[in-house]
Amino acid sequence: QSPSNPATKSPSNQRSVATPEGECSMDDLSFYVNRLSSLVIQMARKEIKDKLEGGSKCLHHSMYTSGDKGKTSPRSAVSKIASEMAHEAVELTSSEMRGNGEDCRDGRKTFLYSEMCNKNKCGEKQQMCPKDSKEFADSISKGLMVYANQVASDMMVSVMKTLKVHSCGKPIPACVVLKRVLLKHTKEIVSDLIDSCMKNLHNITGVLMTDSDFVSAVKRNLFNHGKQNAADIMEAMLKRLVSALLGEKKETKSQSLAYATLKAGTNDPKCKNQSLEFSAMKAEMKGKDKCKSKADPCCKSLTSAERVSEHILKESLTMWNNQKQGNQGKVTNKVCCTSKDEKREKISPSTDSLAKDLIVSALMLIQYHLTQQAKGKDPCEEECPGSSMGYMSQSAQYEKCGGGQSSKSLSMKHFETRGAPGPSTCMKENQLESQKMDMSNMVLSLIQKLLSESPFSCDELTESDNKRCCDPRSSKAAPMAKRPEEQCQDNAELDFISGMKQMNRQFIDQLVESVMKLCLIMAKYSNNGAALAELEEQAALVGSGSRCGRDAMMSQNYSETPGPEVIVNNQCSTTNLQKQLQAVLQWIAASQFNVPMLYFMGDDDGQLEKLPEVSAKAAEKGYSVGDLLQEVMKFAKERQLDEAVGNMARKQLLDWLLANL
Amino acid sequence: MIAYCGTTTMSDDIDWLHSRRGVCKVDLYSPKGQQDQDRKVICFVDVSTLNVEDKDSKGAAGSRSEGELNLETLEEKEIIVIKDTEKQDQSKTEGSVCLFKQAPSDPISVLNWLLNDLQKYALGFQHALSPSASSCKHKVGDLEGDYSKIPSENCYSVYADQVNFDYLNKGPQNLRLEMAASKNTNNN
């Protein structure tokens, strides 16, 4: 009801509102416009509904009645009806407006709308049951547009008809009225459109989701896309893994590249890439070995000791280089006067020589181990006279071949040397063996080169340290160091010295750890008892032969060195289980502290007689301290469970370990 | 007089469950088969299994328990390592006695009591295996009474010039420890 004129219910009465008196308010105007629009919409709805109900049997779906789900119906019928209705309405409105001689400002919209309707008419050609979903979607969107246009057109007609409204004796500008009316109706129109869209969308998706072909196609597409993406991701990850394992492949020309980098010292910019180059060298050897898989096959041909040796060598070289770089950087950055230079030189050579000794010790151990391994693993050496060249001589040959040759050519030479003169069967074995031992040879050769060089010669260790100050490699820093810069402060110098000490200490500690790990792993993985004994002797010789190495051995933490044999006497156990558990825990603790041999004293009741057997089994199966402790935990938990259920028939710990290790 | 010093607990930092160290060899001790070489004897003694009379009457450990060091008040996580600082010429065998109180085995948390015991044994090994002439060994009387002032540390080393173990006696109650104190100090 209009607030000012409740009797007005029809468009004809609306004109009476727009009296020349101009008493009609804006609210009244909006009310009438709204009313008109609602009437138009309701009429359209009714007309559509009537047509749908009285029309073809296929017309079950409409934009407003979507209750019949799942039935196939001609979706374009609705839009068609709507289009026809809208077209008729427009025609009528246009003719009416033309007849009334009004200025039709919405002519452009009407034109567009009519054009679209005509196009719709021509395009659909009275097809009541289209099967194509695309056509269906198009028809839906067109129908919505028709509806929107119809509503807008009706509104526009209403507005235009009420433009004669005056307010306070003045005519209200048409644009103002239009704007207000449109704003008033915007919400309703949009809401209506959204509602319609959602209903239609629901129908569409409901139908589609029940279509098994469509669903399977979607799944297949998704799966294909996902599979492709997963494959890409996996490939990328593998590439990264391989690059991480093998290092960036660069143009490595010789096996001695890493060594050359090391030899070049701190002045060589390649030092930064030393580890990469070493890895590249390894990768090249991998390619030579025809290992087609990416990372593992190369490593599979190596023993654990070799892998560790390789790792330690690389690590040592990197650390060595880093340390040198650190020295260089420190010296470059913190230029000091001559008297302070002396302080630096007092620190650096001693620690450097210590580090050198440690490296030499490690290298000699690795060399010895590889040599021993070559002797032990190459039975054809003696049987095949033509291929009797030992690894030492082979490596010597490698050295003769020179650092300029690629490792591939060296490898080929190695194959030829080993395979050519011998019998065919032996040759095959030799080739297989040689493939396996190529890495050993290369490492061995590299080590020998390193050891033969003067900077790593045991005899020249001290001299080289002293010479290092005058060495051309370090001469770059010297002029800077000798510059008389008086502004260098004492505090900076002290920081520098302490930093040097700290860095050298860390470096040496790491080296010591690496060396000792190597020794332990060599001892652990060595199958030959005699070789092990020799190795230990060799290690002792190396340790005693090297002044700094011996000092380092003395100064290092006992937990990192195989300590003395330990005899344990327990005086506190009461039960058998406690006694066994105590012994096992002590065994674990002793293992953590690298006790080589643990003896238990006072086993008069025979409770610990199985302990040696257990330890042998654990060592044989490669159990670590953590593994063993976890086994003990399992036992304890099982025992708790047994106790909880009242099961008294339990195994003792050592029996359990024997059965479960 | 016996010197002792508190030490840090390095074994706390060990991640036992994930330690990748290999296990060592184990054998039963047979005196006849052993050659004279560098060995260490570690005697683990649970003080809660010792009766008071023995403790009070036997050896330096007992005498200390009457005075400054009362073993009955020893906490579960504490361990006292009594070390012999002099190698005997005939055997080269160094000895250490690790006194500790065994923690009750908590039936709920297996890991806790296992690690607790393991840590004590580790402390024992750690201190018993460390060189006797380490910096931890202070001169006699330097740190007298200081051990009680370091409650956060749960291991003490007590150094004696000589420790004699009576291995022939069997059973925990019959363990006899004798420690010879330094000559140039007052002997309690």
Q: CB–CB of A585 and B45 under 8 A?
A: no
Stretch B149-174: mean pLDDT? 53
A556 versus A95: the higher-pLDDT residue is A95
What is the nearest CA distance from A610 to chain B, expressed in angstroms? 9
CA distance A31 to A181: 9
List Cβ<8 Å contacts ≥24 apart for A30-35: A30/A180, A30/A181, A30/A184, A31/A2, A31/A3, A32/A2, A32/A8, A32/A158, A32/A162, A33/A155, A33/A158, A33/A159, A33/A162, A33/A181, A33/A184, A33/A185, A34/A184, A34/A185, A35/A2, A35/A9
Write out the H or E segment, with its range, that includes residue A243: helix A212-246
Please give the Cα distance from A333 to A316 (Å, whole number): 25
pLDDT of residue A587: 92
- The answer, for A623 touching chain B at a CB cutoff of 8 Å, is yes
Q: What are the CA-CA distances from residue A15 to residues A8, A28, A290, A317 (Å)?
A: 10, 12, 97, 100
Which residues of chain A does B7 touch, with a Cβ-Cβ cutoff of 8 Å? none
- Determine the distance in angstroms separating the CA of B152 from the nearest CA of chain A, rounded to an integer: 22
Dihedral in degrees, nearest 10, Cα atoms A474, A477, A481, A487: -150
As a whole number of angstroms, the distance between CA A615 and CA A372 comes to 27
CB A81 within 8 A of CB A54: no
Q: DSSP of A198-214, one letter per residue?
A: HHHHHHHHHHHHT-HHH
What pLDDT score was predicted for residue A608? 86
Instruction: Give the pLDDT score at A110.
Output: 38
Residue A132 backbone phi and psi in degrees, to 5: -75, 130
Chain B positions in Cβ-Cβ contact with residue A587 (cut-off 8 Å): 23-24, 26
Q: Which residues pair with A527 in a beta bridge?
A: none
Q: Which residue of A has its CA nearest to B125?
A: A590
- When CB atoms are compared, the residue of B26, B49, B128 closest to A587 is B26
pLDDT of B72 above 80: no
Percent of chain A with pLDDT over 70: 22
Q: What is the DSSP letter of B179?
A: E
> What b/e readout covers A591-619, taking b as 16+ CB neighbours within 10 angstroms?
bbbbbbbbbbbbeeeebbebbbebbeebb
Q: Is the pLDDT of residue A246 over 70?
A: no
Residue A406 reports pLDDT greater than 70: no
Query: In the numeric block, which tokens belong to residue A555?
Result: 């100064």
Flag the least confident range among A27-41, A255-269, A339-353, A628-642.
Answer: A255-269
State the average pLDDT over residues A480-490.
46
| Cross-chain CB nearest to A626 (options B18, B25, B165) | B18
Question: Rounded distance, CA A527 to CA A369, Å?
Answer: 12
Which chain A residues contact residue B131 at CB under 8 A? Answer: 558
**Residue B117 touches chain A, beta carbons under 8 Å:** yes
- Which of B51, B111, B125, B176 to probe by mutation at the A interface, max A CB count within 10 Å? B125
With contact defined as beta carbons under 8 Å apart, do A588 and B16 qualify?
yes
Name the B residues in 78-107 with CB < 8 Å from any A CB: 93, 102, 107
CB contact under 8 A, B27 and A612: yes
Candidate ranges A322-326, A417-421, B43-47, B58-62; pick with highest mean pLDDT? B43-47
- What residues contact B161, with CB distance under 8 A and at least 6 apart? B84, B85, B86, B179, B180, B181, B182, B183
In sequence order, the β-bridge partners of residue B164 are B178
- Reported as a single tens digit per residue, the pLDDT across A565-607 is 788 888 776 777 888 888 999 999 988 888 888 888 877 778 8
Q: How confident is the model at residue A156 (pLDDT cuts 50, 70, 90)?
A: low
* Pick from A115-119, A357-361, A648-652: least confident: A115-119
Instruction: Determine the residue of chain B that is closest to A564 in CA distance.
Output: B39
Name which residue leads in pLDDT, A484 or A139: A139
- Looking at the complex, report in whole angstroms how far the Cα of residue A657 sits from the nearest Cα belonging to chain B: 14
Answer whether B167 sits within 8 Å of A624, measured CB to CB. no
Q: Which of B26, B101, B115 to mutate to test the interface with A (most CBs of A within 10 A)?
A: B26
The radius of gyration of chain B's CA atoms, rounded to the nearest angstrom, is 17
| ipTM value | 0.77
Res. B25: pLDDT tops 70:
yes
> Taking 80 as the threshold, does the pLDDT of residue A6 lie above it?
no
The tens digit of pLDDT for each residue in A598-643 reads: 888 877 778 888 899 999 888 888 888 888 998 998 888 888 787 7
Contact B14 A604 (CB under 8 A): no
Residues of A in contact with B45 (CB under 8 A): 571-572
**β-pairing verdict for B25-28 and A597-601:** parallel
B28 touches A609 (CB < 8 A): yes
Binding-face residues of B in 8-67 toward A, CB within 8 A: 10-11, 14-29, 34, 37-46, 48-49
Asked if residue A310 has pLDDT above 80, the reply is: no
Q: What is the pLDDT of residue B162?
A: 60
Buried b (16+ CB within 10 A) or exposed e, A265-275: bbebebbebbb
Chain A partners of B14 at a C-beta cutoff of 8 Å?
592
How many beta-carbon pairs below 8 A join chains A and B?
186
| C-alpha to C-alpha distances, A202 to A67, A206, A323, A466, nearest whole angstrom | 11, 6, 70, 88
Mean pLDDT of B60-64: 40
Strand partners, B165: B177
Is residue A412 pLDDT above 60, yes or no? no
- Model confidence pLDDT, tens digit, residues A165-198: 666 666 666 666 666 666 666 666 677 777 777 7
How many whole angstroms from its chain centre is CA A148? 52
Better-scored residue on pLDDT, A281 or A516: A516
Q: Which chain B residue shows the shortest CA-CA distance from A569?
A: B43
